[in-house]
């Protein structure tokens, strides 16, 4: 529609953040979108983004009206595309796991390099990763505790219950030397998994296991339903550079099924088995 505008939000306008009410009734196209840029902490309770073609900033895409865009201009003190403020309102391409959107409005700061750079390019990570305790949603091999015991870290993972990630589906988009690894893609489906409470020590273990510093997986925060309650901004890990789905090695698929069996719903467990067979002709026994 001609009167609709796409906007990429990366800070206080994101879901559950302090100005998220401005997004009420706006159509969300993706909660796990990204664009090229670099993110900084302004020190005033909000991030600023600067242009950078070699780094990524994560956020959300919304479809909004021109009137709503004017509200955003007022929020950042911008009087238009050519106003003499600290912000520029530009358009650039924004990406999701499945597609890309061109000419999306993004607010960038003209001079931000004197501030602290935000690691992972994600404001939610900057806000929540330093907590003493976090809820962590495991949907792949970390549902199985065999490697926890082998690595002697089982005491770092306190099981809280079965969680459900709405609007996601399980896929094997991480290509390792011996096959695919699990990921979650935005969809109209549901992924079930285990919710653990972890400390910073457990987080550091997950960084090593998930290859975070090698830019394999990234920490992300999503909503999880558990025991009849919705928990906001629960930690999980998503593949950064997603490839076409590849069959996982048998030992990895077995870890997922072993960790899920008797814990996730029977319907979801059957779905895990069926998708392994339908996608890769893998008939697993555990």
210 tagged catalytic: yes
* Strands 4-9 vs 56-65: parallel, antiparallel or unpaired: antiparallel
What are the backbone dihedrals phi and psi of residue 157, each rounded to the nearest 5 degrees, phi first?
A: -120, 105
CA torsion sign for 47, 51, 55, 59 is positive
Using alpha carbons, select from 97, 98, 71, 35 the residue that is nearest to residue 240: 97
Distance CA 262, CA 268 (A): 11
Using alpha carbons, select from 241, 254, 264 the residue that is nearest to residue 285: 254
User: CA angle at residue 88 from 45 to 51, to 5 degrees?
Assistant: 80
Distance CA 208, CA 214 (A): 9
* Strands 87-95 vs 158-176: parallel, antiparallel or unpaired: unpaired
Please tell me which residue in 17, 186, 192, 210 is annotated as part of the active site. 210
Q: Which residues have a catalytic role annotated?
A: 210
């Amino acid at each position: 529609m001609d009167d609709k505008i796409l906007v990429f939000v990366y800070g206080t306008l994101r879901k559950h953040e302090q100005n998220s009410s401005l997004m009420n009734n706006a159509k969300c196209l993706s909660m796990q979108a990204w664009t090229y840029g670099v993110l900084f902490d302004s020190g005033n309770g909000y991030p600023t983004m600067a242009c950078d073609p070699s780094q990524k900033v994560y956020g959300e895409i919304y479809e909004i009206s021109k009137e709503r865009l004017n509200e955003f201009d007022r929020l950042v003190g911008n009087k238009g595309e050519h106003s003499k403020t600290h912000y520029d309102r530009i358009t650039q391409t924004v990406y999701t796991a499945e597609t890309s959107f061109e000419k999306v409005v993004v607010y960038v700061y003209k001079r931000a390099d004197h501030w602290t750079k935000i690691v992972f390019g994600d404001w939610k990570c900057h806000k929540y990763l330093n907590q003493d305790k976090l809820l962590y949603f495991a949907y792949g091999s970390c549902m199985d505790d065999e490697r926890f015991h082998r690595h002697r870290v089982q005491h770092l993972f306190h099981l809280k219950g079965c969680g459900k990630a709405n609007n996601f589906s399980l896929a094997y988009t991480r290509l390792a030397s011996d096959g695919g690894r699990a990921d979650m893609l935005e969809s109209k489906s549901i992924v079930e998994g285990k919710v653990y409470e972890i400390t910073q020590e457990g987080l550091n273990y997950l960084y090593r296991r998930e290859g975070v510093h090698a830019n394999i997986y990234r920490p992300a925060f999503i909503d999880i339903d558990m025991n009849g309650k919705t928990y906001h901004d629960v930690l999980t890990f998503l593949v950064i550079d997603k490839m076409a789905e590849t069959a996982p090695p048998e030992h990895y698929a077995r870890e997922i099924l072993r960790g899920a069996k008797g814990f996730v719903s029977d319907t979801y467990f059957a779905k895990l088995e069926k998708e392994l067979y339908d996608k890769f002709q893998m008939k697993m026994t555990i």
